Structure 1
Amino acid sequence: MSTQKITPKQRGYLIVNSHPTGCEATVERLWQSIEPVDAGGRAPVALVLGSSAGYGLSILLAGLRRHGIRGVGVSYENAGNERRTATAGWYRTAATARLAADAGADFTFVNADAYADTTRTEVLELLAERYGPVDYLIYSLASPRRTDPATGEVHHSVIKPIGEAYTSPSLVFEDGAATVGTVELAPADEPERAATVQVMGGTDWRLWVQALTGAGLLGQDFTTVALSYVGSEITAPVYRRGTIGAAKEHLEATAHGLNTEVLAGRGRAFTVVAGAAVTQASTAIPSIALYTSLLRNSLGAQGWRTTGDQAVDLWEQLTGARPLDLDEKGRIRLDGWELAQSVQDRVRKLWEDPAAALADAPAGPTWFHDQFRELYGWDVPGVDYQVPVETSVPWPVAVSAAS
């Protein structure tokens, strides 16, 4: 037990501690923003890989709230110790488990490396014993490194352009105040590109689907999706045409391979192109913070689609409540609100002189900074940060469906 008053420890876009009450409040607020429905019928079984943050968390919450899903969520979080808090994802998972239990959902949370063969074995055994065949596999993993389960080699991803150096304006925060700086990145070499594909591509997605198939755990109408992003032409040099883009192309090629080779009529696989969001993964990408701030200014609060909004949209498509919104490459699209021509024209105009744009409308970067801090449970409305909190929070224990 470790009850203490804690304050944020921040360096740029890195916050090394988190607030348990603040993290719980962000999960509860997201939960309340999702309108419940009476799903009725059989509760589908879902396996969510990357369930503690970003789109994975939002898709899990929307599935629980609107469709009564049961199943397993996998994430890799740190419990912390007497000197350091647990990771934000640890606290978010504990909060999610409480909400799921209150809703009567039978959901189990596994804290383990989703890239490891041992984790696949553990999760498949859990599914076979407790839940049965999987209806939905959500692949939403984001990590800076991956250990190849076959070779033991550790691959590290990089965020770099391919072919040419990249220079761009960027958003810099000094004591919470936003200014415009400049980021310069040298192009990636081939080993760096290949390593990024190994970490962020579709290799492990395919391994998970193959494992479910081999174990006889594919539901009758099995569907699997992997989260992706395209984004604006403004950020394309460092994103879609950079090392991350190479990984996303591999992810999309994996979807095709799953459909034609692994599933072959026994299910379906899609990549999902989500819209812009403030996540722990996206804040690490140079120029994305500035672009997202200007996008927010262009759209305003009413035009912005949260991860919760997009998760609800995705479930509506997956369950057949409305038709799939597929592009020419067979990808499910959730980003039409972001990439609408009129929206992109406004952002592109602001991008011509971002310093002036921020001076004229500081709401965007202020919003971005607040959203970034909330990822770790800080600056959440309604939370009293002067009150000591218990930072040692247990990982949720599975409870039998009968109880």
Structure 2
Amino acid sequence: MSLRQIDPKQRGFLIVNSHPTGSAATVERMWERIPARTDGSGPVVLLLGHSAGYGLATLLTGLRQHGIRGVGVAYEGAETERRTATAGWYRTAAAARLADEAGNDFAFVNTDAFSEQGKAEVLDLVEKRFGKVDHLIYSLAAPRRTDPVTGTVHHSVIKPLGRPYQAPALDFSDGTAKVTSLHLEPATEEETEATVQVMGGADWQLWVKALAGRSLLADRFTTAALTYIGSELTAPVYRQGTIGAAKQHLENTAGELNDTVLVGSQRAFTAVAGAAVTQASSAIPSIALYTAFLHTVLGDGFRTTAQQAEDLWDQLTGATALVTDEQGRIRLDGWELDPKVQDQVRELWADPHAGLARSAEGATWFMAQLRELYGWGLDGVDYDQPDETTIAWPEPQHSNHPYASPTT
């Protein structure tokens, strides 16, 4: 037991400490907003990057609506003397409790998914407890990756390609929303390649090959890697920048998997999600201001990560028809890229200072959403009281679930 009085230690978009009860509340509230419609044991799923953003939404929606079983993988930090555990650690504990209460046999592993040791640990568990995998969801976001073959540590960067990037950005450094100007120099070839190695499809391909090597791919196996395209307004720093190069590699990898590793009815896709407030997206220059403007335009029409995950699962499981674009990508972002919506966002972007004055609610909403990612600012949570910060990671090796394998 470790009761602590916690404060967020926030500077701009950077928040250090997480609130355990608040982090759990974010999971519980997302869970309650997902319509329940499952009646028993569902497909076996390996979910890489389950603890935040779209990965968390995909986990909770899969559990709540399709009764998924399987393994979630994340790489989260435990509590130290100076800091709480990461929000993803506390969210995982809450998700595990909800899965258990719902009767879902789902295990959670805290390991470096990029490493050979991590892959072996996870696949040993999958093979022993679940057998063949029906769906692999790849939703990893990390600043660096160690190549398991060469040992080279690659660090990703967020930079434009070919020319400098100058654009407006949302600034909360003094606690009040304002527009600032952002300038980024173009990436070098080495920085671009390193970003592709971290955020592209190399690791996704290794996971699929590892599953295939152990004969763990179900006959109708599908794998989907989450990606993003976004607006032309942010394209110079995103889709046309280093991240875009990585996302293109991810999409190319889907084609390579379909042409080589996967056979018959087994398929690989990328799934293009829409904009969202996530820990990863908040670090991308100009995305915060763009997202605030987008929310101002859409209001309640801004689709949550869970709503988009619901669309993804319905297509992957066959509950609805699988619809792809000309590049074979599953598209979940039509609501964002609707021309009428983009015209209104473009109008705000043209004069960002005046746009922010019209989008005060959108900026406030963005910061509130960001704080909630770390468990802060939720109604019903008493932040004036000490909170229990020592929360155990859910033990992955044992299960009392009604659908657990007899070999567990």
TM-score bucket of the superposed structures, by smaller chain:
over 0.9
8 Å Cα contact 2:104-2:401 kept in structure 1: no
Give the aligned residue type for 2:336. E
8 Å Cα contact 2:105-2:401 kept in structure 1: no
Matched, 1:73 2:63: no
SS in 2 for 1:223: strand
- Residue of structure 1 equivalent to 2:381: 383
8 Å Cα contact 1:297-1:361 kept in structure 2: yes
Give the aligned residue type for 2:393. W
SS in 1 for 2:356: helix
8 Å Cα contact 2:292-2:359 kept in structure 1: no
CA distance in 1, matches of 2:401, 2:75: 28
> Which 5+ residue runs of structure 2 have no aligned equivalent?
403-408
- Residue of structure 1 equivalent to 2:406: none
Give the aligned residue type for 1:341. P
- Post-superposition Cα deviations, 1:332-373, rounded to whole Å, max 9, x if no partner, equal 000000000000000001101111122123100000000011
- Post-superposition Cα deviations, 1:76-135, rounded to whole Å, max 9, x if no partner, equal 001112221000100000000000000011111000000001111111111111011000
- Residue of structure 2 equivalent to 1:12: 12
SS in 2 for 1:171: strand
- Please show how residues 33-52 of structure 1 align to structure 2 within 5 Å: 33-40=33-40, 42-52=41-51
Matched, 1:363 2:366: no
8 Å Cα contact 1:120-1:208 kept in structure 2: yes
- Please show how residues 185-334 of structure 1 align to structure 2 within 5 Å: 185-265=184-264, 267-300=266-299, 302-334=300-332
- Post-superposition Cα deviations, 1:260-280, rounded to whole Å, max 9, x if no partner, equal 111032510000000000000
- Residue of structure 2 equivalent to 1:27: 27
CA distance in 2, matches of 1:348, 1:402: 50
Kindly state the Cα deviation for residue 325 of structure 1 after the two structures are TM-superposed.
Answer: 2.3
CA distance in 1, matches of 2:42, 2:188: 47
SS in 1 for 2:35: coil
- Residue of structure 1 equivalent to 2:143: 144
- Post-superposition Cα deviations, 1:225-251, rounded to whole Å, max 9, x if no partner, equal 000000000000000000000000000
CA distance in 2, matches of 1:260, 1:23: 41
- Residue of structure 1 equivalent to 2:98: 99
8 Å Cα contact 2:137-2:223 kept in structure 1: yes
CA distance in 2, matches of 1:256, 1:20: 41
8 Å Cα contact 2:12-2:174 kept in structure 1: no
- Post-superposition Cα deviations, 1:139-185, rounded to whole Å, max 9, x if no partner, equal 00000000000011100000000000000000001443100001100
- Post-superposition Cα deviations, 1:14-64, rounded to whole Å, max 9, x if no partner, equal 111100001000000110111010345x52100000000010110010000
SS in 2 for 1:141: coil
8 Å Cα contact 1:81-1:392 kept in structure 2: no
- Residue of structure 2 equivalent to 1:338: 336
Give the aligned residue type for 2:53. G
CA distance in 1, matches of 2:143, 2:269: 23
CA distance in 1, matches of 2:172, 2:46: 37
CA distance in 1, matches of 2:159, 2:359: 30
- Please show how residues 92-131 of structure 1 align to structure 2 within 5 Å: 92-131=91-130
TM-score after normalising by structure 2: 0.97
SS in 2 for 1:377: coil
CA distance in 2, matches of 1:208, 1:124: 9
